Structures are given as C-alpha cells and as structure tokens.
C-alpha cells in the first residue's frame, strides 16, 4: 500500500512575508501526527511561461486518505488556513494516492 499525497502549488500576493509564513507552516505540520512527511521548495529554474506565476510547492504525505481527512479538519490546520489562504494570489491543490514506479535507492 502506498501513501496518500496532498500537493499544493501557490503564488503568494505581493508584500507577503513568505519566509515567516513558511516557518509557521513547518511548525503547524510538525505538530500534527497525521502528517507522515512534509517537503517544500521554491521554483528557481522554470521559465515564467511554464511556471504561470506559481512560485512555491508543498507536498505532504499521509499513510492513507483518512489521515489526510483528519489533517484537513485538525484545529491547527484550520487556524493556519485562516492566515495562509488570504496570503495567496493563486493556488492549485491535488490530493492523490502514490503510484511508485521507481523506488528510491
């Protein structure tokens, strides 16, 4: 059985203190046991045309879909969303089960 993923790609509004927001996101995620792993990064290579304005990607993995469902209604996530969502200009969210083609070495 694979993992279940929560993949979020965003473009922050101008003037947002992104570093502080991401530190708060890391803290929030670290305090919720349902999250198996969390990774994030800022795009530095893609051409603007391909990026379409999006700058940051966040990936959370869960052991199962039910763990993602529990995360989504967790009080810490709900409270953080009240700060995170207004800071965004654009967002794409995808939730999907992993299909591993080549496992890490």
CATH of domain 4-95: 3.30.70.100
**How high is the pLDDT of residue 49?**
74
83/96 Cα distance (integer angstroms): 25
* Residue 84, Cβ density class (10 Å: 0-12 exposed, 13-18 middle, ≥19 buried): buried
**How high is the pLDDT of residue 8?**
97
Tens of pLDDT, residue by residue, the chain (105 residues): 579 999 999 999 999 999 999 999 999 999 999 999 999 999 988 777 778 889 999 999 999 999 999 999 999 999 999 999 999 999 999 999 998 887 777
**How high is the pLDDT of residue 1?**
55
> For residues 84, 14, 55 and 75, what is the CA-based torsion angle, rounded to 10 degrees?
0
């Amino acid at each position: 059985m694979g993992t279940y993923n929560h993949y979020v790609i965003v473009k922050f509004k101008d003037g947002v203190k992104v570093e502080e927001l991401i530190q708060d996101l890391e803290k929030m995620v670290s305090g919720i046991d349902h999250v198996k792993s969390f990774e994030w990064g800022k795009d530095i290579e893609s051409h603007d045309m391909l990026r379409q304005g999006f700058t940051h990607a966040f990936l959370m993995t869960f052991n199962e879909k039910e763990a993602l469902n529990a995360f989504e209604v967790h009080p810490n996530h709900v409270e953080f969303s009240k700060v995170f969502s207004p800071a965004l200009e654009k967002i794409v969210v995808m939730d999907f089960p992993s299909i591993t083609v080549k496992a890490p070495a």
